[in-house]
Amino acid sequence: MTLKSKTAVVTGSTSGIGLAIARAFAKEGASVVINGMGDAAEIEKERAGIEKEFGVKAIYSPADMTKPDEIAAMIALAEKTFGSVDVLVNNAGIQFVSPVEEFPIEKWNQILAINLSSAFHTIRAAVPGMKARKWGRIINTASAHSLIASPFKSAYVAAKHGIAGLTKTIALETATHGITVNCISPGYVWTPLVERQIPDTMKARGLTKEQVINDVLLEAQPTKQFVTVDQVAALAVFLTTDAASQITGANLSMDGGWTAG
């Protein structure tokens, strides 16, 4: 159990990749703060399930990642409840697919706020405690879209390129403080986020669902397989270990070879 007596905050962990990461940290003995949107009863079921299955403490913060004051309150709640935030995963994210000339301004602002600015706000609040304790792990869920672009995803690609830059900057600022800052850049992972963009991509490109899956999504991924949430979570766990203490400022691809091409 590599994370015993540590606390992990995982944004956007009521679903998909974030939930898998929170569960993997709990399995390693961490107290966890889960966060995200969704049905209250479902979230409570997940939270209680984590406590029961892994014998750790889990709390839920409903902080909206578009709201800086709620984000600061989430970090404060974690520190007050558990005494520290040792591992921070900035994972909350949304997608919207549209040609740029029709891209709704409010969607652009929302994606930039959730997928990029929220990480600035969590990091800003959590770094002082990490520096004081001389230990911290910050992991940002970026994307293959932090390295390359696809059409019709202007806000998402801009935000993900931004988070890759933020990762490098904070890695340099914290390098002598026992803190590492990295991003994981998955290709297509089968989660609700991917499922939800299929209808919009069908519309934007005039394709069937099968064509979107095979000719757009898996077309990009040389292995022709989706990444799994558990594979992403396993890399996140590795980044918290001593073996990974010299990995900082890195953008780690897990994309079935997508960005190699």
Name which position in 37, 48, 76, 132 contacts ligand NAD (CB under 6 A).
37
Angle between helices 40-54 and 16-27 (to 10 degrees): 20
Question: Shortest CA distance to 249 belongs to which of 162, 171, 140, 143?
Answer: 171
* Tokens representing residue 77 in the block: 């709640």
- Residue 16 gets the label, from left (phi > 0), alpha (psi -120 to 50) or beta, of left
92 scored as a contact of ligand NAD (CB under 6 A): yes
Instruction: List CB contacts of 155: < 8 A, sequence separation 6 or more.
Output: 96, 103, 107, 108, 111, 112, 115
Question: Minimum Å distance from CB 159 to ligand NAD?
Answer: 8
Contact pattern from residue 163 through residue 192 relative to ligand NAD, giving x for each residue in contact according to CB under 6 A and a dash for the rest: -----------------------x-xx-xx
Tokens of 165: 């830059």
**Residue 221 in the binding site for ligand NAD (CB under 6 A):** no
Of the candidates 2, 66, 211, 231, which one interacts with ligand NAD according to CB under 6 A? 66
Asked whether position 86 contacts ligand NAD by CB under 6 A, the answer is: no
Strand partners for 189 = 227
* Contact call for residue 12 and ligand NAD (CB under 6 A): yes
Binding of residue 38 to ligand NAD (CB under 6 A): yes
Q: Is 60 a catalytic residue?
A: no
Among 193, 202, 207, 234, binds ligand NAD (CB under 6 A): 193
Residue 237 is a binding residue for ligand NAD (CB under 6 A): no
d(CA 78, CA 197): 33
Q: Which residues bind ligand NAD (CB under 6 A)?
A: 12-18, 35-38, 64-66, 91-94, 114-115, 141, 143, 186, 188-189, 191-194
Q: Which residues are catalytic?
A: 156
